Chains A and B, each alone.
Chain A
Amino acid sequence: MSAGRNGALFGAKRLAARAVGVASRSSGRGGGTTLPGRLLLRLDREAIAKLGSGLDAGSTLVSATNGKTTTAAMLAALLAAEGRVPVHNRAGSNMTWGIATALLEQRGREGLFEVDEAWLPRVAAQLEPGLIVLGNLFRDQLDRYGETEALADEWARTVAARAGRTRFVLNADDPLVADLGREGAVYFGIDDPDQALPELQHAFDARHCRRCGQPYAYERAFVGHLGHYSCPSCGARRPRPDVAATRVELHGMEGSTATVRLPGGELRLDLPLPGLYNVYNALGAIAAALELGVEPARIGPALAGMRGAFGRVETVAVEGKPLSILLVKNPAGTNEVLRTLRLEAGEGELDLWVGLNDRIADGRDVSWIWDADFELLAGAVRRVTCAGTRAPEIALRLKYAGWPEDRIAIVPGIEPALDAAVAAAPGQLFALPTYTALMELHKLLASRGLTEEFWR
């Protein structure tokens, strides 16, 4: 078969797949985010490579256990400040079919894709990215990803295979990520000792040196196992970050401010997203933007204008009461959400809705709730409504975290649970859904005209 006919055949497959997306959305059934990509990949396994080769300015991949959607959204905002609009899987569908769908439905010269951590090797092999940004590796959905160290081994093979062809932006504070570095990697990290946790958290996933297997010595930790470490045995140390937050101030749900050291100066970061974890996301996005040629002077203002990436942080009014939604999906990310909420309210003033689902995208195994430090909010809660397919199990976890049992309600259905929680809250309500609970919550809010459906 000639190359020309091959190309024509692929073009036909592409048209068919794109038409499916249009039909799916106009039928009003929703879920058009990934259907075209799924179909195209079924027709042609090399579809991503073929579509990606049309991006003549190259692609950037962003991966991490936590923060990839937000980091990619921040990087998109920084590129937008330069008038650059990448092809971008912005709705967070980050496996091959989500990327294929974005490539099918958008036009652009460059690509920006967040990639599921387990899919990174396959996507990197097909897309030939010019830049890869790696944020962190935490314990997450063991049933889907396997052991954290095994995943780090896979990443190491990908990084080694791409040496000389791809540049890397790496988190200096995560030894599982920093150690992937080769000559020339760009590092980011936090250099403000005042942000250190008082003690190492339970969910601590990098005890042993990647090089020699001996335990790391930690001078301080900021988020989970992210921090300042060294190996007393072989001398491996945290690399000095090229982009570093030297002074950070957290302002609860309002966001944070920071001074950021750059290779050629300093910038003032005024971030409207809460928590130290979002400072890490911003640092990764800044380091990547500099690599992609974004003017440093544009960075501060562009990030100051950010809204939360879809669902990660957002506030809508329900029955006149502000409802803030914060995604929870694994211990490290949940701990950061709990720390942020702890700053929000005094004793017994927090009203919460927690949605724990066990669908495939959430991880079928909900054991992780016992590794998250719900104890942090034991005295702070006025009422919590537990929803989702595993509602009784999160309720039990909260009881054993020391939350008073008479303040814990179980209402499995997403909608009745939300109505009950809104009715019981005198004001601000916080919703903590897992991924598919977030999707259900969004659909519900959209059906009431409170938010737009995200895929439109």
Chain B
Amino acid sequence: MATDHATVPSVDEFILASSTVGENLYGIVLCIPDMKCGSCIGRIERNLGAVEAVQQVRANLTRKQVSIQWMAEYSPQAILNSIAGLGFAATLLDTPKPEKDAGIKSNIRALAVSGFAASNVMLLSVAVWSGADESTRQLFHWVSAAIAIPAVAYSGQLFFRSAWSAVRVGRTNMDVPVSIGIVLAVLLGLYDTINHAERVYFEAVIMLVFVLLIGRTLDNLMRARASNAADGLRAMEPSGAYVVTESGKLEYRATVQLSIGDKVRVKTGERVPVDGIVYSGQSYVDTSIVDGESTPKKCKPGQQVYGGTLNVSTEFFVRVTASADKSFLAQMHNLVQFAHSSKSVYTQISDKVSRWYAPVVHAAALVAFVLWMYLTGDVHKAITVAISVLIITCPCALALAVPMVHVIAGSQLLRHGIIMKNGSALEKLGSVGTVVFDKTGTLTVVDTQSLSLDTTHSEQHLKLARSLSQSSEHPFAKVLMTTSGNDAMQSDLFKCKVRDVPACGLEAIIDGETIRLGRRSWAADNDSTEANLSPGNESESVLTSNGRILTTFKFSNPIRKGAVAAVARLKSKALNVIMISGDQLGPVAEVARQLQISDARSGALPEHKVSMVQDLSNTMPVLMVGDGINDTGAMAAAHVAMAPGTAASVGRNMADFIFIKQDMNAVPDAIGIAQKAKSLVKQNIVLAIGYNMLVLPLAYAGLVTPLIAAVAMSLSSIIVVANSMRLSQQYRLWYKQDDLVPAMEAAEL
């Protein structure tokens, strides 16, 4: 998207985004998405380093970022020119998030300390187990204590803090039993060491902390990686804009400071800072970030423009209608972030689980203690068993089972250009048996080339058709507005109230005549020619005046990129593929033939679509892929819905999944990932619960020492995590085999 324009931020934006790092020294981090190889780093660093203003420059290939320190006495214009001269598009980062990085770093530090302590204590313990004499054993126990206690105190903070913050407000979470287990085990170890016991369990405690930290760190890294994608979306929003003040002057303000009612100037090549209504000037905006539409849209006074869209024509002025945090782009960003980490949902679920799980665990440990106390009268043995039960029943693996898979699946989906709106939809998508497609705008794309105008279309007819189409979101209407766009003519369109009749067309009364544009059977009175007209693959829209046909617009139906391969892949997965369209038989049959869809239904009104989808979902879960207003009913009726990024906003709201790329392969990709994810979740739950079931009786019987309990528990977590990781591994291999598909498709065309 951004590369087409090779955009760099403006000087004002650049200065605004810079932060002071030293005396007369500013620091800034730019995101350069096209930085892909070693020579890119070299070119960027050498060229920017040669700029006088630059004090220091460092490119980061992994993050695709460049951090620059520049001196305040120079204008940063030369820096920007240098970047643009290299042909890179650069965006400013929203705000660098040191606190997020710091969290991961302190996590890794704790992991390193506990790893060091665990390996050393384990070495000493193995020496003791293999038969050390009394005095050596004593020495080693004390050394172990000296290493383990500070290490636990340092590395265990993460759990203690979390547990304490839960306990303080009268709640309990997963970290409570873990923390109690750790503290008790340390105290017991200390007691044993002082009393010259033969066995001391420091290694068990420190191992537990170590392995729990591994899980935490993995989780954090995954989340950080996932949210990077969401940040990319946010970066599309300019960091500031020129505001027209009351005295008529222009003043540069940060986007976050823009308030409702402000008048903002949007220059050519700039992005609209926040949502607003155009009040002066006319232009074309590239809205591809909002709806994936590559054709720039016209905007004129009174029209809504969304933040993040790009002004590709002349300068215009916008009155702000939503502050930066409530703009469309911010909502989209939140949506992605929510879908991505799905953190809030899962934290809730796991907290809910632990709300009853933690008391059960504590009770189980207490019962074990009392039982052993009663049966043997041995306090020491009873405490050991209780600790084992406490550690072993800790539901860490269970807690990781679902979110781990969903987090990975989410980032996999995003890599394929698919945004997941909620986590539960993933499971539904995995069990889908029937895929229903809409035709126009979904399986076929409608672009400016699809409408061919000839001499039979008079200027007057075009003007009428455009007057009706100007407010519609139907693909045909959009094409009519943009094809052979003549500005002078478009500006004097009829001002009329257009009624949108779903699945039929558009209607307005102009100069006392009822003008209709749309389906032949609806627009034209008593027209019997429908059957023998348009037998080919062209769809048509009829323009009528009081039922009299004025002209016919024919739209060719180019198949969406990847649709042939996508349908073939879906069929190879033994899924039913059905096409339901409101269009006439001719074009529907032609598209079905090209895509090799055997079950294609034409002439369906929205309510037909709903009932058909309902019928289908009685037998098998249905995925509805649609884009327009006339599909929303069917999308709601289906188990799970998917929409292309180009869909009307209603369609996007209704969909559980949105694919941003134009390629239809997103549908089989998403289903493939969802199926894998679903089976992995099941496996994980079986693994986690099965492990608890297996070991709990042994722990009760006193056959499991805290060491074995710690190792087994950590092992089950690691197995669950490793099993979840298979999603990315397997899927990548599977996808590689499919690389043949584009070639297949090319051969067909």
A, B co-complexed: no
**Which residues does B use to contact A, with CB under 8 Å?**
none
- List residues of chain A with CB under 8 Å of any chain B CB: none
